[in-house]
Each structure stands twice: as C-alpha cells, then as structure tokens.
Structure 1
Amino acid sequence: MKQSILKRTAAAAAACALALSAGVRLPETVQTAKAADMKIEDFSLSDLTMTDPYCTNAFSKEISYLLSFDTNRLLCGFRENAKMNTFGAKRYGGWENTLIAGHTIGHYLSACAMAYQNPNLTGEQRQKLSGILDALLSGMQECQRNSKGKPGFLWAGQMKDQNNVEIQFDLVQQGKTNIINESWVPWYTMHKLIQGLVDVYNLTGKETAKDIASGLGDWTYNRCTSWNQQTHNTVLSIEYGGMN
C-alpha cells in the first residue's frame, strides 16, 4: 500500500513538473494538495526485516563490531575530566584522544540504539547491547553529577586547561579555532553526544538517557542565553552545524 502511494505521488509530481514546464495551468485542487492528504505514515526500525544475504551478513558483522567495544575505554575521557576513577582504562585512539573526544560515543550510542530495534537481532545480542547501554549511561550520569563544569555539563574532550573543563566553548566564543591547542568544533561534538542520548531514549525507552540529555539541554540553554548578538555571530562564523 505504501509503495503504491509513493509511486502515485512520484508520478503526480513528474506530471506536474512537465505541465508547468509546458506552461499549462494546473487546477486549483492540484496546486494546493498537501502531503497530509496522501496519508503517508512513518514506521519504526522494528518494522523492517532484512532477508538479503549481503545485508544480513553486513548486519551480523556490524553487531559483532558494536559488541567488541570496552565501555570503560569509551567512558575514560568523561571520567578523566570529572576527576574520577578510570579503572585503569585508556582512551581509544583517533577522535577519542583529541579535543573532540566524546564524539565517537555519540555515534556509538545512536548505532547501538538503532541496532537494538532491529528484528534480526537475537535475544542474546539484544540483551548484551542493553547491558552496554546501561553501563555507558550509568557512567555518563555519574560523570555529569560530578562535573567540574557548570551544572549539567558533560565532556570527554582533552583539556588543555585543567582548571576549566569548558574552555573550548569559551574559546569558540572568542573566535579562537586552532584545532591543536585551542578549540575543535565543541558544539558539533556536543550535538553528536545529545543526539546519541536522544536516540537511545527514543528507541529503547531508557530514562537515564533522557535525564542526561535534559541536563545537557539545561547547560546549553544557560550558556547560550547569555550571548549578545556579536557572540552569536562569532560562534556561527565558526560552527554552523546541528547545534545552531
């Protein structure tokens, strides 16, 4: 049914485009048609089942990859910045060992949440993913409660100033963007983190994810509402992605 509607919609759109290019005036009813009239409905990831061998093989490998991560290593940056026990874990390399650490965990949270919804997941795999998410959320919430920044702040990026965990955000407001020793897209990284938490809440119903995201939302609101127009312009000249 949905495919039929989409095909009819595409055909109608093509016909309208052809008519307009030919200078034909369309009936008023066609010109004012709304998407709502087409009765297109959303559906969840749990409504999709993969059967193609290539896709199921790729999905199986992706799940194995997601389950291979060490939660203590993913949490390491957050714990370091909150002056908490890292349990002997070391940060992962790449992004997680730079100014934008925490970026990876945002993507990882989204990936785990989406995988959790997939019908191709076995019961054992779903249970393992749930355990990983619970461990990450518990660790992140503990770090947020012990944050060395303002209330609600949570951050894993490397700190060039051990006395100011929010320094990257301060420097962006000043227009400083040296990615080696000043600031490297902290708002973009924060967006990934918040989006990951939102995905976990929406797709798994885990309340802790919503609570952490709410705290970050409050922190974001309190910081941004103090900006004047010049600060807005400065930040937007550097970071114009999802957070803005």
Structure 2
Amino acid sequence: MRIRTTAATATVVGALALSVLAAPSAQADSRYGDIAITKVTVNGGKNVVIGTSAVKKFSVTVQAKDNSGIESAMIYLRGPAFGTLTPNDTRCSGNTCTAKFIVDPKVDLYYSNDIAGTWYVDAWVTANDGDFVWTQKAKSFKFQRASRLSVNAAPEPVKKGKTLTVTGKLERANWETFKYHGYGSQSVKLQFLKKGAKAYTTVKTVKAASNGTLKTTVKASVDGSWRYSFAGTATTPAVSAVGDFVDVK
C-alpha cells in the first residue's frame, strides 16, 4: 500500500486504477440498475490518526442494496495533495463489503504532512446481476497527525492563595521527520478538577507559543488536578493531558 502525494500520481494506482479508468462515466455518482449504496463507515466512525512509527490498521465498510445481492466492490481513499490510499484486501459478505487498510508512516506517507486533513471514500459496487454503482465522495473523514499534550503545575505542594505556574507543550506527529514537533499558535484550555469532583471545568484559554509551549499562572485555592485540553483541528485530533494533582496547604 502507498499513499501517493504528487500530481503525477493523482490517478489511482494498481489493479484498482485499471478498473476505475475502465468504468463508464465515472462521475460523482453513476449507476446502472437498481443498486444503491446505503451506508459507508470509516474506522468504526472514528478519525484515522497516525503517529510517527506505529502501523495503523483500519477498515472501511460499504453497505449496498440490490435485488440480486452484492457481488464485489472496489474501494479507495483520496485526500489533499493528491493523496490516494488503496486497500490491502476487500471482501463482500451479504450486502456489506469491507476494505482493510494498513498504513506504515515510515513507508506509506511519502514524507509529507500535506496529506493530513479531510479525505473521501470512493466506491464501486457491483451486484450479482451486473448492476453497478460508482460513487465519488461517498463518505468524508479526517486523516490526522497524532497529537500529544503535557502539563506540569508547580510548586507542589503550594500554599493556599499563592501563585501556581502551569506549563506544558502541545505537539503533533511530523510525517517528514518521524518525530513530534511543537504545534504552535493554537488555543488550549486550562482545566481544573477539584478533589472529589467528577468533571473538569475550564479556567482559562491559553495560546501556545510558536514552538507549542504553554505557560500561565493561577491562584491556588483547593486540592485538585490541573490539565491542558486541546479541541483539535482538521489535521490534528483533540487531546487532553493527564491531570497533575496539586496539594494545597
């Protein structure tokens, strides 16, 4: 499997490419007969998040209906910067076809961060009686660079009413260097969980520096945990730091 990121490879590759290019009128939605795609699910409904080293496995399921039953499907994914992703295996059972994808960031991402963002599923489904449906952008999903967030509240312990300094760093995977780099100029929430409480509350919003570092101050009042929480963007998933508990004397 490869994700293609150059204009020269905007056309789908491999055996799937031959099938798609041979398809008559491969437009936004072409069909022959009464067949129809009824549902498309990517990664169980979750965004596809990829880091710097771990291999990511996920599936795309396409459900369709036809009076004669479903015979086969060709499913591939495409995104920004001419990125395309072909499945390692596609099988149909009943009215559901499942395509399995395996992405190794050090092999399949072509050293490019530009392919992160909104991706789409293109699907060609064929029925037992020869009916077919070809749908581009049958489903959208986010293909994202993994994120991580740290926090440290000091001093610990702290006297009641004294200043507490809360630092941290927001980072995300860089698919060009295979390291985590600071994600700068992003708005991050500082949240507090009072000892004995069940949910964090937002205290203030902090802007990350250009290198992703975070720093702010608050007045210590009661025991509890402090954390930073990032809402995420189209290219980067939401993430919350593990809370740092502070004992207030």
TM-score interval, smaller chain = under 0.3
TM-score by length of 1: 0.22
Q: Give the TM-score normalised by structure 2.
A: 0.22
